[in-house]
């Protein structure tokens, strides 16, 4: 598909976990008379509500949300599938004269939309099993092989990241070409004009908010949610999600409840730090510092004041919706 011609404007509201995206996104969507598309790789799973801080049923009834509760925890889900399912939603909203609002912190999803995704060949279980056997027999051999066939790709992968090493070799073997070369040739951004707005806070404040959220999650019943999740034969991905992984350890008797909370707080802070690092690589983000602002409506006012295109769009949409 040719993707040079831009179809329309799409707003992306991004930022680290717990910064305040959900609350302000509701005000923004209402002002724009539009719908919200989640860009969160864990909120896609049904039954994982508390630990992923999903918008509440009341919030979702007020503003229509997409890409939340779309798969069972037992299902596998890919970035490619996410893009395939998001594009029709974006196109429908644009056809209705609305500006789609993407909200989330999963950098890979946002990167796939704004910079493109390479649709690689489907997984080959037999080939993967063979490669794993080679690695078990001679640890390190697969990374050495990748450096031979695709040194450029190898330079972007850590020697112990076996999953990505195997995938890169799999693509090279199946296509007869280095994966890095294929990515350059076939990766294309989606055909939209993206307005990227990033929310940020002073790190100490964000970490305090993370600690408060973790305590709130346990008060809301995170342990029981994980117990119910384990009954659904979940795949590996949801089991590795922050909050769920640590509670599973608690249920196995590996640490106390208080230790579990501390593990989750530490893991979440590290994740927020990684998110900041990831988003720094994303070009064209208009960052808005909301340190000291906690009310979602006040955050919304600051966004509209500081992001000039947003100010115009919000006023136009409000006027339009009030006269429809």
Q: Which residues pair with residue 45 across a beta bridge?
A: 71
- Asked if 291 and 248 sit in the same domain, the reply is yes
Structural domain contains residue 108: yes
Helices (H), the chain: 21-32, 57-62, 79-95, 107-114, 125-137, 141-149, 151-154, 162-175, 179-186, 203-220, 222-230, 236-239, 244-251, 257-280, 296-306, 308-322
- Identify the domain containing residue 44 by its residue range: 9-117+188-322
Is residue 4 situated within a structural domain? Answer: no
How many domains does the chain contain in total?
2
146 within domain boundaries: yes
231 and 302 share one domain = yes
Nearest partner of 53 among 77, 18, 86, 82, judged by Cα: 18
Among 156, 186, 216, identify where a domain stops: 186
Coil vs helix vs strand at 200: strand
Q: What is the CATH number of the domain that holds 158?
A: 1.10.20.140
Same domain, 197 and 308: yes
Q: Is the domain of 177 the same as that of 141?
A: yes
User: Is residue 3, in this structure, part of any structural domain at all?
Assistant: no
pLDDT for residue 3: 42
Alpha carbon 302 to its chain's center = 24
Domain assignment present for 111: yes
Q: At what angle do helices 79-95 and 107-114 cross, to 10 degrees?
A: 60
Task: Using 70 as the pLDDT threshold, list the residues of the chain that sit under it.
Answer: 1-4, 316, 318-324
Question: CA–CA separation, 77 vs 81, rounded Å?
Answer: 7
Query: Has residue 1 been placed in a domain?
Result: no
Cα separations in angstroms, 111 against 67, 106, 131, 261:
17, 9, 29, 31
Given 135, 160, 186, which residue is the final one in a domain? 186
| 34 domain-assigned | yes
Residues 178 and 207 in one domain: no
Residue 62 falls inside a structural domain: yes
168 and 238 together in one domain = no
State the CATH number of the domain containing residue 24.
Answer: 3.40.50.300
**Are 192 and 298 contained in the same domain?**
yes
Residues 6+ apart with CB under 8 A from 100: 10, 11, 34, 35, 37, 89, 90, 93, 94
Q: Which residues, in sequence order, are CB contacts of 36 under 8 Å at separation 6+?
A: 25, 26, 29, 55, 63, 64, 65, 66, 101, 102, 103
**Does one domain contain both 243 and 308?**
yes
pLDDT (tens digit, 9 = 90+) per residue, 116-130? 877 777 888 899 999
104 and 132 both lie in a single domain:
no
Same domain (yes/no): 230, 307: yes
């Amino acid at each position: 598909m040719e993707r040079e011609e831009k179809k329309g404007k799409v707003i992306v509201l991004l930022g680290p976990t717990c910064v305040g995206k959900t609350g302000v996104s509701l005000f923004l969507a209402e002002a724009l008379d539009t719908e919200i598309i989640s860009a969160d790789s864990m909120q896609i799973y049904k039954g994982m509500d508390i630990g992923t801080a999903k918008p509440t049923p009341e919030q979702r009834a007020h503003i229509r949300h997409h890409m939340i509760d779309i798969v069972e925890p037992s299902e596998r889900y890919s970035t490619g599938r996410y893009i395939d399912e998001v594009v029709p939603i974006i196109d429908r909203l644009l056809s209705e004269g609305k500006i789609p609002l993407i909200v989330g912190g999963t950098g890979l999803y946002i990167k796939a939309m704004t910079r493109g995704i390479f649709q690689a060949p489907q997984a080959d279980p037999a080939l993967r099993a063979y490669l794993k056997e080679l690695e078990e027999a001679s640890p390190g051999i697969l990374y050495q092989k990748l450096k031979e066939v695709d040194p450029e790709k190898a330079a972007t992968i850590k020697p112990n990241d076996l999953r990505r090493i195997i995938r890169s070799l799999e693509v090279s073997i199946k296509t007869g070409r280095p994966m890095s070369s294929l990515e350059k040739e076939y990766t294309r951004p989606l055909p939209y004009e993206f307005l990227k707005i990033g929310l940020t806070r002073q790190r100490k404040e964000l970490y305090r908010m993370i600690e408060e959220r973790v305590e709130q999650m346990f008060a809301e019943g995170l342990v029981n949610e994980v117990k119910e999740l384990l009954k659904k034969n979940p795949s590996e991905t949801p089991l590795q999600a922050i909050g769920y992984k640590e509670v599973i350890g608690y249920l196995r008797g590996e640490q106390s409840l208080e230790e579990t909370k501390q593990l989750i707080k530490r893991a979440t802070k590290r994740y927020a730090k990684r998110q900041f690092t990831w988003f720094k690589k994303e070009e064209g983000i208009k960052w808005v510092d909301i340190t000291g602002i906690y009310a979602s409506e006040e955050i919304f006012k600051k966004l509209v004041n500081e992001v000039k295109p947003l100010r115009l769009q919000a006023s136009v949409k409000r006027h339009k919706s009030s006269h429809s």
